[in-house]
Structure 1
Amino acid sequence: MVLVTAAAGGHGSVGPQLVHELVAGGHQVRAMVRKEDARCAALRSAGAEVVVGDFLSLASMRNVLSGIESAFFCYPLTAGLVQATTIFCAAAKDAGVVRVVNASLMLAGPDHPSPICTEHWLSERILDWADLGVVHLRGGFFYENVLRFAAAGIAKDNRLYFPFADGEVRAAWVSGRDMAAAARGALFGEFKPGTTFNVTDVEPLSIKEVALAIGKNVQRPVAYEAVKFPDFVARIDAQLGDNSYLRRHIAVLAAAMGSGRVIGKASDAVYQLSGRQPAGIAQFATDYREVFSPSE
């Protein structure tokens, strides 16, 4: 039995895509969600057992992890990761879990200006110490962030509005589809505990190139247009809510994207872990073509 946390969504929508990959491969899957909603029906239809769990409750996580042999751990980009990791490890040890695949960040590191990146580094260390056969997947910048924060501008104005200065800085990106494929490989491959992969597309892309690639797929000219950071935050304020961690993280990324240097480095981890090349930006744009297209 394999546990997939953040199964209804989560960062990059990796969870639901991983559930479908695992079920299609004949695995028994328990899908952990934070609440019952319409997305749970799709998980059950796929063949997964759906359970409601609370990362910050030891009793809840003991119930979620009961009978589990391997697990995909993915915590949302918000406060509480260190506590959630500690609780998860305690419950996983009790359950006899022997493999954990941890969804981390490419920029994870000590003393990072983004608290989210620092806490992901600390979370990695806790999982290492817990001796759960962990494999860390440090994902690049998710293409799904464009979907989450800029799809409306693409559909309405043919503009990808982001606060990334002149848009020339290249970054290592990844799609949720490719991260899920890598996670499946990490769950069942033979790896030394603590092994870390940077999971990315085949080459770094600038936000200008991301916009052009989406435009090519939807067969309309889509262009990147820089916006000031306060204006960008105002556009997405409802999505950010009171999540001060994510607000700070986005501010750090915006500053980095104006630095003039490449952010991250491309790797062949998707191929190493899944046996196929990344589906990449073209497949991402195809998957969400309707979202990027003007509504009637």
Structure 2
Amino acid sequence: MTQQTILITGGTGATGGHAIEALRQMPVNIRAMLRKDDERAAALRTQGVETVVGDLLEIDDVRAAMDGVSSAYFLYPLLPGLITATAYFAQAAQEAGVKAIVNMSQISARRDSASHQARDHWMSERVFDWSGVPVTHLRPTFFAEWLIRGAQMQTIARDNMFRLPFGTGRHAPIAAQDQGRVIAAILADPAPHAGKTYPLCGPVEMDYHGVAAALSEELGRTIVYEPMEVEAYRAQLQARGMPEQTIQHLCAVAFDYRDGVFEGTDRIIESITGIPPMTVQAFAEANRTALGG
């Protein structure tokens, strides 16, 4: 019997990379669609992953990547073009006879969101629904990886503190590794999940003071969270040269976070994969070097 071929977009990123790791333990062929043929692409090929270079905003690239695929993971960055990329991906999947799509959305996706990107994610879900290709939408809360990126990682490692505009809102941080396991499991056996929307959360809900306490517990030193105002956060992102659409999204969802949109704990990951998602403490242990040891 011919093994199925599974397509992963964002294969050198966080969720896509971990999905590939999980799929490599299964009897499937893996194809990764990448923007560049670089050393990361070469590393995937050494692991037996087929790589194709293309742009999600070029439908012929998507059609080529989709040829012979049984199921596919769609991931688009926080940049303009999401609706176009969704339409191209859905059309190419329909033409290729793809049996299932796993769509990475976000927990703040809704029709009336103040975030343009979150509203586009809601619209992207609808486009996939209209396509007729069975789809599963994933709506994760904030990633635990926020702690090891950009200013947060630097100030935690250097100054034992971090600043974010989230007040005393709460969420259960979810690691990309746990999301990757869910993505792989659904892609390999999509039928039970077709038409469903899954919120993805970690196991323990907390505010960022609680996150700081969990980091302190694991790292053996006191880490402090300092809330900041959204406008100060906007200025910080602008100084870092982020695209305006990304800045608008991050500032809008900061208010969503304060209003409880990102709340919730795991009800999905363990039920699908049989393994509970990692705690903040476990994430800190796995990323101890990045967080300053």
1:3 aligns with 2:2: no
| Contact map agreement 2:237 2:247 (CA 8 A) in 1 | no
User: Given the superposition, is the C-alpha separation of residues 29 and 192 from structure 1 closer, same or farther in structure 2, using an over 3 Å criterion?
Assistant: closer
SS in 1 for 2:46: helix
Once the two structures are overlaid, the 10-residue window that deviates more, 187-196 or 197-206, is 187-196
| Contact map agreement 2:172 2:263 (CA 8 A) in 1 | yes
1:290 aligns with 2:293: no
Give the aligned partner of residue 156 of structure 1.
Answer: 158
| Contact map agreement 1:163 1:227 (CA 8 A) in 2 | yes
SS in 1 for 2:31: strand
Alignment of 1:84-233 (within 5 A): 84-149=85-150, 150-165=152-167, 168-187=168-187, 188-191=189-192, 193-233=194-234
| Contact map agreement 2:234 2:251 (CA 8 A) in 1 | no
SS in 2 for 1:67: coil
Once the two structures are overlaid, the 10-residue window that deviates more, 213-222 or 184-193, is 184-193
Once the two structures are overlaid, the 10-residue window that deviates more, 176-185 or 207-216, is 207-216
AA at the equivalent of 1:102 = N
- Which deviations, in whole Å up to 9, do the C-alpha atoms of 1:41-67 show, x marking residues without a partner? 332232211111100101110111111
Give the aligned partner of residue 51 of structure 1.
Answer: 52
SS in 1 for 2:105: strand
How many angstroms does 1:238 deviate by? 6.3
| Contact map agreement 1:103 1:138 (CA 8 A) in 2 | yes
SS in 1 for 2:289: helix
Give the aligned partner of residue 279 of structure 1.
Answer: 278
Cα distance in 2 for partners of 1:112, 1:256 equals 9
Cα distance in 2 for partners of 1:102, 1:184 equals 12
The gaps in structure 2 that reach 5 residues or longer are none
> Quick one: percent identity of the two aligned structures?
31
Cα distance in 1 for partners of 2:140, 2:287 equals 20
| Contact map agreement 2:163 2:227 (CA 8 A) in 1 | yes
How many angstroms does 1:234 deviate by? 4.4
How many angstroms does 1:231 deviate by? 3.8
Cα distance in 1 for partners of 2:239, 2:43 equals 26
SS in 1 for 2:73: strand
How many angstroms does 1:247 deviate by? 0.4
- TM-score, length of structure 1 as denominator length: 0.90
Cα distance in 1 for partners of 2:210, 2:261 equals 14
Give the aligned partner of residue 253 of structure 2.
Answer: 253
User: Given the superposition, is the C-alpha separation of residues 3 and 256 from structure 1 closer, same or farther in structure 2, using an over 3 Å criterion?
Assistant: same
AA at the equivalent of 1:184 = A
User: Given the superposition, is the C-alpha separation of residues 41 and 192 from structure 1 closer, same or farther in structure 2, using an over 3 Å criterion?
Assistant: closer
AA at the equivalent of 1:161 = R
Cα distance in 2 for partners of 1:62, 1:116 equals 25
Cα distance in 2 for partners of 1:170, 1:249 equals 18
- Which deviations, in whole Å up to 9, do the C-alpha atoms of 1:61-81 show, x marking residues without a partner? 011111111111111111111
How many angstroms does 1:117 deviate by? 1.0
RMSD: 1.9
AA at the equivalent of 1:200 = C
Give the aligned partner of residue 264 of structure 2.
Answer: 265
Give the aligned partner of residue 75 of structure 1.
Answer: 76
Query: Size of the alignment, in residue pairs?
Result: 287
| Contact map agreement 2:203 2:278 (CA 8 A) in 1 | no
- TM-score, length of structure 2 as denominator length: 0.91
The gaps in structure 1 that reach 5 residues or longer are none
